[in-house]
Amino acid sequence: MPYKVNKKFEPQFNLLIIATILSVLIWAVSAYLPIAGYIVYPLQLFATFIHEGAHVLATVLTGNTVQSLTVSADGSGAVWSQTAGWFSQLFISSAGYLGTTLFGTLLLCWIRAGWSAKGALVGSAAFVALMTVAFGLFAPLFSFFQTVTFGSVAFTVLSGTVLAGGLAAIGYFANARWANFALAFLAVQCLLNAVFSLTDLLFITTTVGGHSDAVNMSVATGIPALIWVLIWFGISIFMITVGLRLYALRKGAKGSDTVFED
């Protein structure tokens, strides 16, 4: 049976398609023309803030202490914390990759619901600003720079300030059309970054090894790091699938509330 896009949801659907095509094209071109990667570089840093911010939230929720949050120029990041107990280690280590996927999925649902894109952008800016000030600046100061260098803190604060300011500016000054596109682009970038980051982690785990969240999980549970990577991959794909399903069709909704109609 042929389907067509419901007129009611054409704007959201078209924005998501355009954002997805543009994102994939940029990622593909950057593989052959590295300079193209600078177009999405700020969004890579944003995804890193979300990843590390998820570690921070998990640390705080389990009653542990965050010593520092840093984001590096190469797009990597780290959160140093004082943790106790295997459950805390499991929850905190899993939060990074799954948190990024969840954030992108929630943005997708936000777009589908037709809620304010400006509000979501300002909210994202506030989250980055909070992570930057509280855990990228003050936490290292209070721990007397035991786990970080001045340079890493400086880059974290600089990049966090620019990202938060940029997102807030778009949310405040952009018209509704551009704000909606920016949010769709942000959602797609978060989801792509989550998948590509897990792909990189899979490659690292099966080849060169080295320290990672998966290794932390292996140490805490005795289960091989590769198994944890595959588990995170499966959960991430499941969340993305559910998000896309919710975007296209609400459970129990009437035909007028679905993206597609007969």
pLDDT in tens, 188-240: 888 888 888 998 899 888 887 778 899 888 988 889 999 999 999 999 999 98
Return the pLDDT at 9. 56
189 versus 12: which is more confidently predicted?
189
In this model, does residue 142 exceed pLDDT 80?
yes
- Lowest-pLDDT choice from 8-12, 133-137, 146-150, 222-226: 8-12
Query: Could you state, in order of their start, the residue ranges of all structural domains in the chain?
Result: 4-250
Residue 42 scores a pLDDT above 70: yes
Q: Over range 133-161, report the average pLDDT.
A: 94
Angle between helices 37-61 and 117-130 (to 10 degrees): 70
Per-residue pLDDT tens for 56-77?
A: 999 999 999 999 999 999 999 9
Average pLDDT of the chain is 86
- Please state the rounded mean pLDDT for residues 27-48: 82
